[in-house]
Amino acid sequence: MKYIIALASAMIIAEVVFICLTLFSRSRMSAQIRLISDGLFLHVSSSALLPRCVRLEISLRNLYTREICKLRLPKAFVGKSGKDFYFDISGLHCGVVSAEISEARFGVCTFLFTKKCCLSAEDSLLVMPEALSVSALIGSIFDESADKRTFSGVPLGVHEYQSGDRLGDIHMKLSAKAGKYMVRERYGDGNGLAVISLEAASDCEYAQKNAALLLGAVTSVLSSGGSCRVISGGADVYISGEWELEKAFYSIFAGFSEQTEQSEVHKNLNESISLKIAEGEAVVL
């Protein structure tokens, strides 16, 4: 019985010591976050002599759909060698997904008492939508003549790349097949520009469909030799080739991170809009 009482007393004293160390110690921790399509990797390490008992909360936010969820790491011991953690986040909706540590607490060798600490780490990931076909709508934007599209100088053929040709006119798929750069020919003095307006959606389901319609419209225009200007709540993006799609959609999705009013420039462009996408529908104007 005496041994049990002595052991309990020693444990209580040790806990009190660890609590005091927690109160007067710095966290001396660092963290890294890496996002992939279906998971989040977290690495936490400490440079302190004594191991840290860590509790973390990570905020996962979709800037486009404005969905927010919390990932929690309830308890973990972290030493100098560090520790890796994995969270399954499969099934993400399209958009720009950002992850950052929103709260961190630590204790020195104890979970009975923890205090907040400054521990920062963040990463972002672009999740592209599945394209919905809008070829019929795009076909109505382009005038059909002799089975060839001739809207605002859109190319009617291709030729091998020559000095002075626009890089934006290179046909990537044909170039890959031919083993050399093939350029779309342009007729007339137009620039083949289709202006697409993407409106904010009322819910996540419509946001997903809007993004799929946008990708379908942009790829259809690009495959026809044209280029696009996409106007959304907080973005005004030009797309002249397929190689710019990911960068462009990142800017478009991130532009919805905050509610923004339509600018005067966007209002003045209403008459030149070719295609409007809103509430899951694409309408030719």
pLDDT in tens, the chain (285 residues): 777 877 777 777 777 777 776 767 887 899 999 999 899 999 999 888 888 889 999 999 999 999 999 999 988 889 888 999 999 999 899 999 999 999 999 888 877 888 888 999 999 999 999 998 876 666 565 543 333 333 333 344 566 777 767 776 777 777 777 788 877 655 433 456 788 999 888 889 999 999 999 999 998 888 777 788 898 877 889 898 888 999 999 999 998 876 554 444 455 555 577 788 888 888 876
DSSP state for residue 224 in the 8-state scheme: T
What is the four-CA torsion angle of 277, 128, 171, 175, rounded to 10 degrees?
-160
Can you give the pLDDT at residue 201? 85
Q: From edge to edge, which strands make up the β-sheet containing 83-88?
A: 29-36, 39-46, 83-88
Cα 226 vs. chain centroid, distance in angstroms?
A: 26
Beta-carbon contacts of residue 251 (< 8 Å; ≥ 6 apart): 235, 237
Per-state percent for the chain, helix, strand, coil, to nearest 5: 30, 35, 35
Token pair recorded at residue 236: 């005004």
Q: Which is nearest to 74 in space by CA: 120, 41, 111?
A: 111
Can you give the pLDDT at residue 79? 87
Can you give the pLDDT at residue 135? 66
Can you give the pLDDT at residue 158? 63
Residue 43 CB-density burial (10 A; 0-12 exposed, 13-18 middle, 19+ buried): middle
Sign of CA dihedral 28, 34, 40, 41: negative
| Cross-strand partners of 228 | 194, 239
For residue 267, give the amino acid letter. K
For strand 193-198 and strand 275-278, is the pairing parallel, antiparallel, or unpaired?
A: parallel
Cα gap 183→163, rounded to integer Å: 11
